[in-house]
Structure 1
């Protein structure tokens, strides 16, 4: 009989989603996951199979929970201006989707499926107050612009951000 799991799998997946939302997939090492999640490397591999397996579990959790909550809020707005404020206020809540769409979806079919599922959920919610087909793209662009502005906070016009 095997030893009982020493960690809460749902909590690990949720925490991993937060880590992946802050950095690109290739910017998160297995060592980062072990340190951040407090789970032994062998346990991670036994439970999720690989870093990619954990990433997919985290992305699925994120689409179900974070995007689901955002969509529920979007269904309650009356117009695009209110939706723009809501998305701006959502802040980092959209970052995992944006990173997954830009970095992993073009090279990983399973990630592309999850990204498209998230976009479909947002499209459906946005469709409650507008018939404009590009509305989801415009709302995601609001977050991208806000993120770019936040990353450049304190930079003078025309200067490049320091890394």
Structure 2
């Protein structure tokens, strides 16, 4: 089956009635968990971004507390999983401030992790890549926000 382009889908959706659109969205939400999560964000959480960020931070706290620290193998695996979850939530929001806030929070937890990530090259590189990514995104923000987030980044370096 050939997939239609976004433009074709948009045109077809414009021709649908309100009830048909509701039916299509509900049917779409039955197929993937991510579709349901995105709909939940758009319908309930998008209006209060601060509460959304707080909820994600609580989830990140829980995930970091549940890491098996018996070996670096398990730590790497868990950290990658946590980063994947954070990136998914960032994709839902599409706001640069949310992205920076959540990645800073992730990096802060990663830096505090015991045993230290500095003893493992993979974890250290992952941390440094995220810091570079944060710097890139911060450069696109308003000057006041740039200053605030740069201060936070400096705290992470020390």
Larger helix fraction of residues: 2
| TM-score interval (norm. to shorter) | 0.3 to 0.5
Q: TM-score, normalised by structure 2?
A: 0.40
Q: TM-score, normalised by structure 1?
A: 0.39
More relative contact order, 1 or 2 (CA 8 Å, 6+ apart): 1
